Amino acid sequence: MKQEGSIFFHEEQQFKRSWLIVLVLVAMFIPIGILVSGLTKEKLNPQELVLSLIAIVAVEIPIFTYFYLSKLETIVTVEGLAIGGGPCRGNTA
| Model pLDDT for residues 63-89, shown as the tens digit of each residue | 888 888 888 888 888 888 888 877 766
User: Of 13, 20, 19, nearest to 83 (Cα)?
Assistant: 13
Residue type, 3: Q
| Model pLDDT for residues 23-61, shown as the tens digit of each residue | 888 888 888 888 888 888 888 788 888 888 899 889 888
Indicate the angle between helix axes 17-40 and 46-69, nearest 10 degrees.
170
* pTM of the model as a whole: 0.60
